[in-house]
Structure 1
Amino acid sequence: MELRHLNYFVAIAEKGSITKAAKSLNIAQPPLSRQLKDLENELGFNLFERNKKKKVKLTAQGRFFLEKAKYILNTVDGVLVEAEEFNEQINQKLAIGTTIYSSQTMFKQIDLFKQHNKQILFNIWESNSVSIMELLKERKIDVGYINEELYDKDIETQTIVEDECVCVLPQPIAKLCDRDALTIEELSQLPLILLTSTTYSGLYKQIMDTFNTHQLDANVQCECYDSSMLIQLLSRDYGVTIMPKSSISKCIAKDYVILPILDNPWLPKTKIVWRKEGYTPKIAKSFIQSNLYS
């Protein structure tokens, strides 16, 4: 058994199809099928159930072996990174994942960290909280920032910011509104632009659940899946949005009216997350510690 066999098996399991896995691995399907059959013969049991639609489903043994295969591959990746670090063959590079609502917290932490680590380089991924957790487990990022109460036995989490949401209004809408603070009912009547995700989770779900609980028919003008589109819509006075106070940049604070929410039901937390197991690069450990004790 070789590492490539484990890589092939994991790819097939994640894609749910030998055809799709072959495409993602950039190899032909027949050789991949043979490699899978050789692996199953060596193990002495079937990893997948096959059907006529060329889709595959993990057997009970396959589910067990998938967890172990991922652990082995992640361990090998960690050993390689650790060895490269030991020989100083790689740059000081840190991969970070963040939600749009955690980005300002992330930038503040990066600014502080760079004061003592001037040569560090960054790869930054923006996604939703669920996807950030997956990126961590896939070792595509070293550390992440999320805003949801998520649990995973393989991930450590620590709250670093306790927050409250505010309403962000373009100047023309703020003049018509003429308020110093907004109630939930008043918010529901304003034209709302809300950032959502394919998982229907996070702050969007909390907002909609609150309106439903209060039996309010929210005036949602647009749901968007991209943070840059949200800013574009705000700049064109399409409506108002609801954001954690800590996520508001200097530009937004300058160009828009920020109003508090009375009896605020939305009190999000920003959490830093990292892997429990496997090797964590020294620069990532240092960055995590900086976040926890700053």
Structure 2
Amino acid sequence: MAMNEKSLAYFLVVAERGNLTEAAREIGISQPALSRQIQHLEAETGRDLFDRSSRRRFSLTPAGRLLQKRAKSLLGFWKQTQQDLQAAGTVLSGTIRIGCVESSVSADLPAWLMSFQSLYPDATFTLSTGNGDRLRDMLDHGLLDLVILLEPVETARYNCVALPISDTWGILMRSDDPLCQRAELGAADIKGLPMLLPGREIPLNDLFDGLGIRPEQIVVKGSSDLISNSIPLVLTGQYYELTIRGAFSLRPDPRLTFVPLFPRHTVRHVLAWRKNEQLPQLAEEFTRIMRRQQEES
């Protein structure tokens, strides 16, 4: 039996449940039949996908974890392809899968989506939030059609539309911190502070260079993809967070204050998608409209 959509879907259920009986009950087939499906899949891949040393629970082997990641991408790709084929040649409909960084662009995205749906009422969308690295990975694996990122973006790999929205880097801290009295914070102010960094490294090197700070002068205590996870840590007064103003403005808290860096470091946003790949019709139309709007503005 060749690896197919059904066998991968069954594998993912077993991987999630860790138990053949529970997985078979969820799928709606007998346990022996499900066991044969998994055995055929292991025979085809030539690898043990599950560690069966425990009678009660299955755990994934390294090969199983790799297949789990790839299977999720493949099933998502197949599902989207089916939707695209159904929509091809008909009134534009379907779902656009958009990823967006946590920033000030989030305030403008609703207007863009509502405007697009006023033109195409049958269009729907799914939104994913994350840092740039996670969103690019999802885009590269076919889990997203479009992403909104902070610059810099690798233009050799992605098509981009520059968006007229920028954000400013700064430090988030408790509002009773003496540093809150400063209009801006320079290198001397932030050296030695217990810092939480965003989960994206490439632009941070440029940021530190602009401030005249070497990476080893930053006391890194941790990192966080989303500011919603790190705000409770900053509220303890034991941490400072390097972030952009727009991320904090999405969920302002009077107990916290954002102070911009000096020299000011401003970053722009771009709408990006993979080069040399055919976008679904709906996503392609969205990029066309966004490009036209930016050219006319």
Deviations 1:213-264 (A, max 9, x none): 26425275x7555422334555676654322345453764998654332246
Deviates further, 77-86 or 178-187: 77-86
Counterpart of 1:165 (choices 169, 181, 185) is 169
1:144-159, aligned counterparts within 5 Å? 144-147=147-150, 156-158=158-160
Q: Secondary structure at the match of 2:171?
A: strand
Gap change, CA 1:151 and 1:176, over 3 Å in 2 = closer
**Which position in structure 2 is the counterpart of 1:8?**
7
1:186 deviates by 0.7
1:47-62, aligned counterparts within 5 Å? 47-50=45-48, 53-54=51-52
Deviations 1:109-132 (A, max 9, x none): 441342353345442222233332
Structural RMSD (CA): 5.3
Deviates further, 183-192 or 144-153: 144-153
**Which position in structure 1 is the counterpart of 2:55?**
none
Gap change, CA 1:292 and 1:177, over 3 Å in 2 = same
Q: Secondary structure at the match of 1:95?
A: strand
Check if 1:229 corresponds to 2:229.
Answer: yes
User: Contact 1:18/1:33 (CA < 8 Å) preserved in 2?
Assistant: no
Deviates further, 179-188 or 237-246: 237-246
Whole-Å separation in 2 of the counterparts to 1:127 and 1:176: 29
**Which position in structure 2 is the counterpart of 1:96?**
98
Whole-Å separation in 2 of the counterparts to 1:251 and 1:230: 12
Whole-Å separation in 1 of the counterparts to 2:253 and 2:285: 31
1:191-210, aligned counterparts within 5 Å? 192=195, 194=196, 196-197=198-199, 201=201
Gap change, CA 1:204 and 1:71, over 3 Å in 2 = same
Instruction: Note the residue ranges of structure 2 that are not aligned, 5 or more in a row.
Output: 53-59
**Which position in structure 1 is the counterpart of 2:214?**
213
Amino acid paired to 1:243 = T
Q: Secondary structure at the match of 1:273?
A: strand
Q: Secondary structure at the match of 1:82?
A: helix
User: Contact 2:99/2:147 (CA < 8 Å) preserved in 1?
Assistant: yes
Whole-Å separation in 1 of the counterparts to 2:215 and 2:92: 58
Whole-Å separation in 2 of the counterparts to 1:157 and 1:36: 40
TM-score under structure 2 length normalisation: 0.61
**Which position in structure 2 is the counterpart of 1:185?**
188
Whole-Å separation in 2 of the counterparts to 1:268 and 1:213: 20
Deviations 1:113-171 (A, max 9, x none): 42353345442222233332343355443322234767699x63426366552234444
Whole-Å separation in 2 of the counterparts to 1:18 and 1:189: 43
Whole-Å separation in 2 of the counterparts to 1:72 and 1:115: 30
1:232-247, aligned counterparts within 5 Å? 232=232, 240-245=240-245, 247=247
Counterpart of 2:127 (choices 120, 124, 127) is 124
Gap change, CA 1:189 and 1:116, over 3 Å in 2 = same
User: Contact 2:193/2:240 (CA < 8 Å) preserved in 1?
Assistant: yes
Q: Secondary structure at the match of 1:117?
A: helix
User: Contact 2:76/2:142 (CA < 8 Å) preserved in 1?
Assistant: no
Percent of aligned pairs with the same residue?
Answer: 14
User: Contact 2:14/2:23 (CA < 8 Å) preserved in 1?
Assistant: no
Gap change, CA 1:278 and 1:32, over 3 Å in 2 = farther
Amino acid paired to 2:190 = L
The number of residues matched between the two structures is 274
1:105 deviates by 1.5
1:88 deviates by 5.5
Instruction: Note the residue ranges of structure 1 that are not aligned, 5 or more in a row.
Output: none
User: Contact 1:40/1:47 (CA < 8 Å) preserved in 2?
Assistant: yes
